[in-house]
Structure 1
Amino acid sequence: MKPMDVETFKEVYKKRFEDVYAIQYHMGSTLEQFQVLGQVLRGYYTDYWIENNQEKIDNQDKQVYYFSMEFLPGRQLKTYLLNLDVYDTVKTGLTDLGLDFDKIVEAEVDPALGNGGLGRLASCFMDSMASTHVYGNGCGIRYQYGLFKQKFIDGYQIELPENWLRNPNPWEVRKESKSVIVRFGGNVWLEEQKDGKLKPKYEHTFDVLAVPYDTPQIGYRNGVVNNLRLFSAEIPYDEESKYITSEQRQEVNSITEVLYPDDSNYEGRLLRLKQEYFLSSAGIQTIVRYFKNLKLPWTRFPEKVAIHINDTHPTLCIPELMRILLDEEDLTWEQAWNISKKTFSYTNHTILQEAMERWPVYMIESLIPRIAQIIYEINARHIRNKTELYGSELAYKTAPIQDDQVLMANLAIISSHSVNGVAKLHTEILERYTLSDFKTIYPFRFNNKTNGVTHRRWVQLANEPLSQLLDKTIGEEWRFQPKEMRLLRSYIDDESVLDQLQQVKLTNKKRFAKFVSEQMNIEIDPHAMFDVQIKRLHAYKRQLLQVMHIIDRYLQLRDNPEAKLAKRVFVFGAKAAPSYYYAKQIIKLINALADLVNNDPRINDMIKIVFVENYSVSLAELIIPAADLSEQISLAGKEASGTSNMKLMANGALTIATLDGANVEISNLVGPDDIFLFGMKADEVQVLRDSHAYNARDIYERDPQIQRILNSLIDGTIPGIKSEGIDIFNSLVTDNDEYFLLKDYHSFYQAQMKVDINYANKKSWTQKSLINIAQSGKFSADYTILRYASDIWNVAPETEVLQQF
């Protein structure tokens, strides 16, 4: 990339600011300063963006299209600066101009266009595709409002609108000329033509304009700029007269208004289905238009296009491509099906069959009738073909339509050439249990691609002190090849490096403590252990197990303030789905417990609880570098992979974990002495569940320690949770503890006591931290993407690029 020096940047920035706001740069607000900086950067990278797009067309390179209902990118400014190799230039230039770089960074909105790991993974993958020279395109929805803005009122979660577009987004480019029409509803029938072919005819459809907004995805110092395309629903320009009422206009606007509308009622579920088809149709139409410009025969479509479905939400891409090939391009069913299967691949993110997405047939029939017809045909052909090969039982058990519902995972599996899990254990469970029938039919279709994270964001940007120590200790090659972080292992007995690593952690903890003091009015000790659990609030992730542990510690310290327990700050970050009542009760419990322990002088500040409000990517960047202990305590066999475990590991946190998801692979990398394992294994959980022998009430009645913890929920020990305490108590005792917290508790408690003992030995703890950092490079999303590219998409980069990794 062309170099940019500090003086040139300063002159360009000052001139642009005056042109935009007609005032001198130092008189502007931080928001205005950020907006101008965004425009300056656009002027810097746009040439590369245009060149890359043209090069892909000229060379007819194969394109990957990654469909996801969620993209959780976080703030983009620092990532762009880093990847363009102008981070230091811009920071120095702004400082020279007397501007506050950090405040300008914070002026950027952190878009909440995802719920958690799924959306963050998609964004990590977009970064890694560009950085590994994989020509990839993201396809998603430009939600006007993100997930929601979380507030705590009297300890309860309150959801507020998250209008991330309240100010102009300097990175996106509206591509009105690339808009397409998406059709909903109406009537459709097949009419025979003169040549005997059947053609669909439509009437009274509800048409929506899908307008794309493109955001660059800039590779790390390599000149590659890929594209993230988010679609917005608008009223078609030439049909405005049809949408004369406010209700009709709102029906269009609502499609891309809110991420994950409340699906606890019919209207909400219908809107969710409408969003899924809107994304699928808009994205597929865009891809087809691109391919037709190449002037190639349709048989070459899979050679030039790979379409990847991130979880089942975009599965309607499959019948939508079939619709276009059949109805608009006049291919036979066999031709269209062969092209489609070679093109699509699917990532499964779910363990339980019953948790996989499904839609009532009548809902699909009414909303997208032509798509319903195609799904019926896929279903009929699957049953007929597989009955001949495997018998009717297996054919019907794997069919996409069952009990008047369309099973989206089944549709995705039978219509794709590749199905992958996201951690070794997850894939094994899918093959052995959840999707075993499909494994029988398609023995070579399943594969594993363990998730990854981008060390560029989660170490280079989020933890600059650690990055500088790594540069000084092992050189800078790790920034390009994260596996080179393993060189740090050779410094495990180097007192100087260990001392510096301790100082890095303390610096990050002080930074987080300052935030907590200023934003939450809670004083925490940076020398205490920072024990972190940050992830979506869900019962299977077992935040409640950690709550039980905190209650246990609190009761011990209240009885005996001199108890030999480590001083800890327990950090939570989590949002609960608005309609997930039980999860919201757990949030109230955590906040009530925090009010109790944070203000009880009897325990001498040995416990503090910090529940950060409105957890986001930006808050994760603040919390993760400060973490000493990473809580990965889901019930074994429930978490597909996890990625917070990888981010925390890369920043030197030690992991306490069940052998679930990617924790298994972390354990294998660092060894048994450098991770704290507890609890049942996945196969033990399965045996216990199948036996129906589990009796939570019996454990409660026979175990004084557990009894004391659970009684505190209902005996007034924790003020302000009368109804929540009763409900949570009943979920564990009366309703038989679905996720086996009581069964795993003693193992968890013993592991926590082991943590206390280890934390007391600072040198040993730091050595374990060093090993975790050194081994984390394997979980780079760059390597994950290269495996997708080679094994699934058939778009492996050139040899010289591969040699870099």
Structure 2
Amino acid sequence: MSRPLTDQEKRKQISVRGLAGVENVTDLKKSFNRHLHFTLVKDRNVATPRDYYFALAHTVRDHLVGRWIRTQQHYYEKDPKRIYYLSLEFYMGRTLQNTMVNLALENACDEAVYQLGLDMEELEEIEEDAGLGNGGLGRLAACFLDSMATLGLAAYGYGIRYEFGIFNQIIYEINQRFLNRVAAAFPGDVDRLRRMSLVEEGAVKRINMAHLCITGSHAVNGVARIHSEILKKTIFKDFYELEPHKFQNKTNGITPRRWLVMCNPGLAEVIAERIGEDYISDLDQLRKLLSYVDDEAFIRDVAKVKQENKLKFSAYLENEYKLRINPNSLFDVQVKRIHEYKRQLLNCLHIITLYNRIKKEPNKFVVPRTVMIGGKAAPGYHMAKMIIKLITSIGDVVNHDPVVGDRLRVIFLENYRVSLAEKVIPAADLSEQISTAGTEASGTGNMKFMLNGALTIGTMDGANVEMAEEAGEENFFIFGMREEDVAKLDQRGYNAQEYYDRIPELRQVIEQLSSGFFSPKQPDLFKDIVNMLMHHDRFKVFADYEDYIKCQEKVSALYKNPREWTRMVIRNIATSGKFSSDRTIAQYAREIWGVEPSRQPLPAPDDLA
């Protein structure tokens, strides 16, 4: 098998990242040396790789400065409506490579750095992730800022930075005015007044922040259609009945600049060769790829890019974890915050089931599978910490069992962050989106995997519902209860013991966890997990276990047919355009903020007088 191209080699072949013109390269080298000497006060005798990184960062920044000043001039001249995006988190990730991509400078910078005798990948790895956050909300804010810039909105992101906050509070007055309106709309309904009050009465009075937020906002939206419907039908039903015009839906999205062009250059170019480059800022154009579903050359190109990404990530894993994996195995990935509702435990039960089947019939063919789970747990969340411990303990047993070999590998991806996501998502074959129906607001990782050519196994929850609609349910691996099924089960009463008694494979897995099979030195290590699953599992893992196992068997069956697998991948990529954050922000702008997006480029930043 041929050696996979490095990112640097790929960049030199592709057009979506700009051309490495001779003048560009020469100017960049001069700028690099100028910053090394006069900004950092270093020369090549004493400069460290970190100094070279900063010299390159300043060089790229120079190309932003003129544009920034011209943009500010435009704002002063035209005085457009400003948008201020408030978020506790802005999970920006690394910015150097992203900026080079957006400025179409990457090929020129690659060539300049190469001619200077330096390694671009080494310089990029020096940059730390800008981690002003730890989860989906922070990453969503970063994608939204990217789209606001793409759509020409005069937008700014603001966090919270204060030591002592002193605010005039008239919450009781606001509450009284609000309850007067409720009483006028629903005369005699005293219980409704209690339910909707901004102040929760009791031994200790508390402010209901969600109620305060709805009362003080002119628009309220969910972030996926199913989420918005749940808000209107259950959680905020009273508020919806009072002011139905306030409630909207804005399904979340992701920026294709970072989550395709930057992190998956091979796939970005294969797409550009067929439909041009305009899809980068108009992701709906990906639908043109539907005409290539039966194109053998395109099928081969998409499969080749995926295999190159898998080879590269396999090398990364071997270097980081000293674990050799089979790059031809199915890369089964679940990366997200560790939480009971996201059901990493259901994934664990499937892994153990696969392990038991291999041990029972060691000579039977199984589709090789490498399961990767990654994510952070909140510091005080004991169960999430135990789930991580369980994943690593399963890996310790499975990965060292000679009977299993490389047919099954289990890896916990430590320190999951944006820069690691940019490596694993392009390499994934299968995306695990398996939350209990009705618990995931939207999700954006699911969209990133879809755009990068992974197929989804998931419940009809969050944005999965709309993704399956776009791609067609036949191009998704859907399993498990729907939201209405969960509600019915809640009414009837969920009894884990019923499933334990009825399903032998499930019973075997739970007995292994109870007996210390995966923790021989501490046999009762996972007793809290077993107790939760058996007696007070709010997220009903056992109820979906059987259907999940059957659905995973369908995944393995399709993976045996690479051509059909890739055709399904192409259909998913082609129908992922709806999930661009450009679409999300355009809807916010028009329907809530009262601003019209613009694709009109500003004048070139040459005359700054």
TM over 0.5: yes
Partner SS, residue 83 of structure 2? strand
Letter in 1 for 2:543: K
Counterpart of 1:661 (choices 459, 462, 485) is 462
1:107-143 Cα deviation digits (max 9, x unpaired) = 11102211211110000000000011111110014xx
Cα deviation for residue 395 of structure 1 reads: 3.1
2:177 aligned with 1:381: yes
1:190-240 Cα deviation digits (max 9, x unpaired) = xxxxxxxxxxxxxxxxxxxxxxxxxxxxxxxxxxxxxxxxx4x5xxxxxxx
Identity in percent:
40
Distance 2:336 2:598 in 1: 37
Say which is worse superposed, 582-591 or 57-66, in terms of deviation.
57-66
Distance 1:435 1:764 in 2: 44
Distance 2:505 2:94 in 1: 45
Partner SS, residue 50 of structure 1? helix
Cα deviation for residue 641 of structure 1 reads: 0.3
Distance 2:584 2:302 in 1: 28
TM-score of the superposition, structure 2-length normalised?
A: 0.92
1:589-636 Cα deviation digits (max 9, x unpaired) = 000000000000011221101111100000000000000000000000
2:443 aligned with 1:639: no
Match of 2:233 in 1: 432
Partner SS, residue 333 of structure 2? strand
Stretches of structure 2 that go unaligned for 5 or more consecutive residues are: 1-17, 602-609
Letter in 1 for 2:194: Y
Contact 1:554 1:607 in 2 (8 A): yes
Stretches of structure 1 that go unaligned for 5 or more consecutive residues are: 142-230, 234-251, 253-273, 279-367
Q: How does 1:92-131 map to 2 (within 5 A)?
A: 92-131=111-150
Contact 2:40 2:55 in 1 (8 A): no
Letter in 1 for 2:25: V
Partner SS, residue 600 of structure 1? coil
Distance 2:91 2:291 in 1: 36
1:686-717 Cα deviation digits (max 9, x unpaired) = 121133x2211232123212111111101132
Cα deviation for residue 388 of structure 1 reads: 2.1
2:259 aligned with 1:458: yes
Contact 1:589 1:721 in 2 (8 A): no
Distance 1:390 1:553 in 2: 57
Q: Closer, same or farther in 2 for the Cα pair 1:799/1:616, shift >3 Å?
A: closer
2:411 aligned with 1:610: yes
Cα deviation for residue 799 of structure 1 reads: 7.8
Contact 1:398 1:410 in 2 (8 A): yes
Match of 1:738 in 2: 538
Cα deviation for residue 538 of structure 1 reads: 0.3
2:51 aligned with 1:60: no
Partner SS, residue 130 of structure 2? coil
Distance 1:29 1:588 in 2: 39
Cα deviation for residue 798 of structure 1 reads: 4.1
> What root-mean-square deviation, in Å, do the aligned CA atoms of Structure 1 and Structure 2 show?
1.7
Partner SS, residue 112 of structure 1? strand
1:510-551 Cα deviation digits (max 9, x unpaired) = 111011000110101110000000000000000000000000
Q: Closer, same or farther in 2 for the Cα pair 1:133/1:615, shift >3 Å?
A: same
Contact 1:26 1:99 in 2 (8 A): no
Match of 1:711 in 2: 511
Contact 1:74 1:111 in 2 (8 A): yes
Q: Closer, same or farther in 2 for the Cα pair 1:721/1:594, shift >3 Å?
A: farther
Cα deviation for residue 461 of structure 1 reads: 0.5
Q: Highest relative contact order (Cα 8 Å, sep 6+), 1 or 2?
A: 2
2:157 aligned with 1:135: no
Distance 2:483 2:525 in 1: 30
Counterpart of 1:32 (choices 31, 39, 51) is 51
2:265 aligned with 1:469: no
1:292-332 Cα deviation digits (max 9, x unpaired) = xxxxxxxxxxxxxxxxxxxxxxxxxxxxxxxxxxxxxxxxx
Cα deviation for residue 659 of structure 1 reads: 0.1
Contact 2:144 2:581 in 1 (8 A): yes
Cα deviation for residue 30 of structure 1 reads: 1.9
Cα deviation for residue 27 of structure 1 reads: 4.8
Cα deviation for residue 754 of structure 1 reads: 0.5
Match of 1:394 in 2: 192
Letter in 2 for 1:590: I
Q: Closer, same or farther in 2 for the Cα pair 1:400/1:609, shift >3 Å?
A: same
The structure carrying a bigger strand percent of its residues is: 1
2:579 aligned with 1:783: no
TM-score of the superposition, structure 1-length normalised?
A: 0.70
Q: Closer, same or farther in 2 for the Cα pair 1:617/1:716, shift >3 Å?
A: same
Q: Closer, same or farther in 2 for the Cα pair 1:798/1:532, shift >3 Å?
A: closer
Counterpart of 1:91 (choices 102, 106, 110) is 110
Letter in 1 for 2:195: K
Distance 1:30 1:771 in 2: 43
Letter in 2 for 1:68: S
Match of 1:486 in 2: 287
Contact 2:152 2:600 in 1 (8 A): no
Q: How does 1:742-753 map to 2 (within 5 A)?
A: 742-753=542-553
> Would you say how many aligned residue pairs link Structure 1 and Structure 2?
575
Counterpart of 1:574 (choices 375, 381, 388) is 375
Contact 2:450 2:576 in 1 (8 A): yes
Letter in 2 for 1:47: G
Letter in 1 for 2:102: N
1:116-171 Cα deviation digits (max 9, x unpaired) = 11110000000000011111110014xxxxxxxxxxxxxxxxxxxxxxxxxxxxxx
Distance 1:8 1:115 in 2: 38
Contact 2:151 2:598 in 1 (8 A): no
Contact 1:588 1:721 in 2 (8 A): no
Match of 1:237 in 2: none
Match of 2:499 in 1: 699
Cα deviation for residue 559 of structure 1 reads: 1.4
Cα deviation for residue 481 of structure 1 reads: 1.3
1:355-384 Cα deviation digits (max 9, x unpaired) = xxxxxxxxxxxxx5x54x311211121112
1:472-526 Cα deviation digits (max 9, x unpaired) = 1222121221111111111111111111111100100011101100011010111
Match of 2:343 in 1: 542
Contact 1:561 1:604 in 2 (8 A): no
Cα deviation for residue 721 of structure 1 reads: 5.3
Q: How does 1:298-697 map to 2 (within 5 A)?
A: 368=166, 370-371=167-168, 373-391=169-187, 392-403=190-201, 404-691=205-492, 693-697=493-497
Distance 1:590 1:556 in 2: 18
Distance 2:511 2:364 in 1: 22
Partner SS, residue 412 of structure 2? strand
Contact 2:150 2:281 in 1 (8 A): no
